[in-house]
């Protein structure tokens, strides 16, 4: 059942409005030598032993931070802004991007947009507090307010990235960043993007990154059709035209519109069917996201085999 307007307001989720317009992941159509470095796998990636992950984590962290620091200290177009030697919050981002790569907080959407939104909030609050001639005495208040605003904006946009809190604080408390003003925002955007690029290279040697680019939830046309189906069912129920079935029957009979390579049907049949057009799962069976991803990977392999014929 689709959430009511009151529920949508009280439990606001921006993805409810954005996901219907986000395109499906189409990485599987790219050559393997490209899609692999963007996180796509035809079959689930098995995690290597921890002791094998450590060298890549160490080298990737050094490489990424040296890269962004080198650009900040030597790139002609950036040196003129007099940025800090290194944006301190990027150290925390590196821990997430190269170590906790399965966490939603370290996925590209969060790592790039979260840090950038935090920089915008931090600079905006710092500029506002600078209207007070005693700004130097209340920098700590400005930093606290900037961090709070950044936290809210990241939560609002589903881009939570803990290092963003430090990014927002720096905009009010570090002299070099305060002097940069709005120029701090594109620097953070560039550095966060470069960290993700390095993460794509090093993490995908033995592991799989990212887990998702936007969200693990349904997106695109499939989600729009689901919402339309729910709305039509709710409207029919209000007018007394809906079938009078027990909740379990309604769940078992729920059939979604089929969209090539991404649709899942919930039917009465007790078997699981994977084809190039849809995936059928018994209505009474609940699968985890990992199990659903396994079925989607199998479906993509079928698609690839069909294309090769």
Separation between Cα atoms, residue 13 and residue 47, nearest integer Å: 32
Q: Mean per-residue pLDDT for 137-161? A: 97
Q: Exposed, middle or buried, 215 (CB in 10 Å: 0-12/13-18/19+)? A: middle
Q: Mean per-residue pLDDT for 197-206? A: 96
Rg over CA atoms, the chain: 24
Cα dihedral across residues 90, 94, 96, 101: positive or negative: positive
Are the beta carbons of 74 and 81 closer than 8 angstroms? no
- How far the first Cα of the chain sits from its last, in Å, is 41
Residue range 99-117, pLDDT digits in tens: 999 999 999 999 999 999 9
Question: What global pTM score does this model have?
Answer: 0.73
Q: How confident is the model at residue 270 (pLDDT cuts 50, 70, 90)?
A: low
- pLDDT over 90 at 188, yes or no: yes
What is the residue-averaged pLDDT of the chain?
A: 83
pLDDT of residue 248: 46
Q: In terms of residues, how long is the chain? A: 309
Question: SS3 of 259, please?
Answer: coil
pLDDT of residue 277: 63
Spatial CA neighbour of 111 closest among 185, 178, 61, 161: 161
């Amino acid at each position: 059942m689709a959430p009511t307007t009151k529920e949508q307001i009280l439990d606001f989720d921006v993805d409810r409005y954005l996901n219907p317009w986000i395109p499906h992941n189409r990485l599987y159509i790219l050559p393997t030598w490209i899609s692999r470095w963007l996180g796509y796998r035809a079959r689930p990636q098995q995690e290597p032993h921890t002791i094998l992950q450590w060298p890549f984590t160490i080298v990737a962290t050094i490489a990424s931070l040296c890269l962004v620091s080198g650009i900040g200290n030597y790139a002609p177009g950036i040196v003129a802004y007099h940025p800090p030697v290194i944006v301190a919050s990027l150290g925390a981002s590196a821990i997430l991007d190269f170590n906790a790569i399965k966490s939603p907080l370290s996925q590209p959407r969060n790592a790039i947009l979260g840090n950038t939104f935090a920089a915008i909030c931090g600079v905006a609050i710092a500029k506002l507090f600078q209207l007070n001639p005693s700004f130097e005495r209340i920098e700590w208040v400005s930093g606290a307010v900037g961090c709070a605003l950044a936290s809210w904006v990241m939560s609002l946009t589903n881009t939570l990235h803990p290092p963003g809190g430090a990014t927002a604080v720096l905009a009010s408390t570090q002299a070099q960043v305060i002097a940069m003003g709005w120029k701090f925002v594109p620097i953070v955007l560039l550095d966060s993007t470069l960290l993700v690029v390095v993460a794509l290279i090093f993490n995908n040697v033995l592991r799989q990154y990212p887990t998702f680019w936007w969200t693990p939830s349904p997106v695109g046309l499939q989600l729009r059709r689901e919402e339309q189906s729910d709305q039509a069912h709710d409207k029919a129920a209000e007018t007394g035209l809906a079938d009078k079935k027990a909740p379990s029957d309604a769940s078992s009979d729920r059939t979604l519109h089929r969209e090539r390579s991404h649709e899942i049907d919930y039917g009465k049949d007790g078997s699981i069917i994977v084809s190039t057009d849809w995936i059928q799962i018994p209505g009474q069976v609940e699968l985890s996201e990992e199990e659903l991803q396994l079925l989607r990977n199998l479906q993509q392999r079928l698609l690839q085999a069909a294309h090769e014929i």
